[in-house]
Amino acid sequence: MLIEIDFNSEEALYIQLRNRIIMGIAANELQEGDVLPSVRQLAETIGINMHTVNKAYTVLKQEGFVKVDRRRGAVIAIDAARLENVEEMRRELQVILAKASCRNISRQEVHALIDEIYEGYGGN
């Protein structure tokens, strides 16, 4: 899986990394059990510090997307216990949809966009 970082983005590097990996899981480019590159390795290929990658992995671990296996490193492992966190999503969507509404983007357009994006994430 290719991980690209935008150094001009305002988003923190470790957040970009986290987002990329979550999107990779959703898009099935990363599957349960897959091993992520080691923190040093990924840091070198991207050209950033080891600790920045480590922070991204730590966040992913806390959020339940990854487990750390001493021998293999960071492994994709989705924690079933914290599935279905809808409230968190509602708060995030509220801001985005408010902006959309102000900018005259219709509900239909949003639905279409959702479908389009969800398609890339394997249908349902």
Partner DNA sequence: TTTTTGTTATAGTTTTTCTATAACAGTGAA
Partner DNA sequence: TTCACTGTTATAGAAAAACTATAACAAAAA
**Contact region with DNA (CB under 7 A), list: 18-26, 34-42, 84-92, 104-112:** 34-42
Q: Which residues bind its own copies (CB under 8 A)?
A: 19, 22-23, 25-27, 65, 78, 82-86, 89-90, 92-111, 113-115, 117-118, 121-124
Min dist. Cβ of residue 5 to DNA (A): 9
Distance in Å, CB of 28 to its own copies, minimum: 9
Tokens matching residue 61: 């671990």
Among 10, 32, 87, 119, binds DNA (CB under 7 A): 10
Can you say how many angstroms the Cα of residue 118 is from the centroid of all Cα atoms in its chain? Answer: 14
- Beta bridge partners of residue 75, listed in sequence order: 35, 67
* 49 Cβ neighbours under 8 A, 6+ residues apart: 43
Query: 2, 95 in Cβ contact below 8 A?
Result: no
Q: Which two tokens stand for residue 35?
A: 């091993």
Given 2, 6, 32, 70, the residue binding DNA (CB under 7 A): 70
